[in-house]
Structure 1
């Protein structure tokens, strides 16, 4: 079940986000980039998005296992706990987010990390811009901006 996250869900959304970042991203990015990415998804940003009604939580047996943030026509902060990946939950969150956006917009924008890029390509997204952000220790966080026309 996917539902809007409430203020009381902050801990669950933070756990899903940070656990996924620190479990998956070190396999794709150097440490400075992983830290930058973790800091980008700060407590304040998560709380502000929950308060704005932009965060959604996917629950399995009453436990939060995935989250997505939808802001206008942009999909952000899509994470599924590592133990629940490859079970269709990421697809379920994407279907949900795309349907929300489809109601009011004709295209979707998202930032694609290296581990997620293949998923987005399979769903018909096209890279429109490549970004490199220098982080601590001279490490770089590389990602694509991707779009999908509906």
Structure 2
């Protein structure tokens, strides 16, 4: 049985966050994207950019039994950077992290936004996110990075809409 008792703490070291993100991208993303798009993701989430983001985002580290297994970030009502190390994927940790990040956002906002990469899209769809728009960015070597902007409404907002409030 998998231990889903996770400890979430604010990151104070961009290098640790960067290591988790880089390992996950290099391992998982080549199965979904061409080389130019993978490099785009690596550049987008490099250590310097993560260090800059620490002043405008809540960047969390996820620990299970003393092991760092992932990271997740919040900027206003957006989950910006959600990565679980490959060896811990498919065990419920990403969903548990999403539960915690969404709850935090729904305290102050009626909707959560995510830019969904192809590897994470099915998880978001299962969690009730809807595709808001299709996006495409030209990357190196004439490659393209395609992704979806997705949104999920809080239960409160859905009830209000259904009741016409």
TM value normalised by structure 1: 0.94
Q: 1:3 deviation in Å?
A: 1.1
- The residue aligned with 1:46 is 50
Q: Which runs of structure 2 are paired with 1:1-150 in the superposition (5 Å)?
A: 1-7=7-13, 10-52=14-56, 54-150=58-154
Query: With CA pairs under 8 Å and 6+ residues apart, which has the higher RCO, 1 or 2?
Result: 1
| Unaligned stretches of 5+ residues in structure 1 | none
Comparing 45-54 and 79-88, the one that deviates more: 45-54
Q: How many residues align?
A: 148
Instruction: Write the distance in 2 (CA, Å) between the matches of 1:11 and 1:88.
Output: 25
Q: 1:76 deviation in Å?
A: 1.0
Task: Note the aligned Cα RMSD (angstroms).
Answer: 1.1
SS at match of 1:94: helix
Q: 1:139 deviation in Å?
A: 0.3
Deviations 1:99-148 (A, max 9, x none): 11000000011100011100000000000110110111100000000001
TM value normalised by structure 2: 0.86
Q: 1:12 deviation in Å?
A: 1.9
| Unaligned stretches of 5+ residues in structure 2 | 1-6, 155-165
Larger radius of gyration: 2
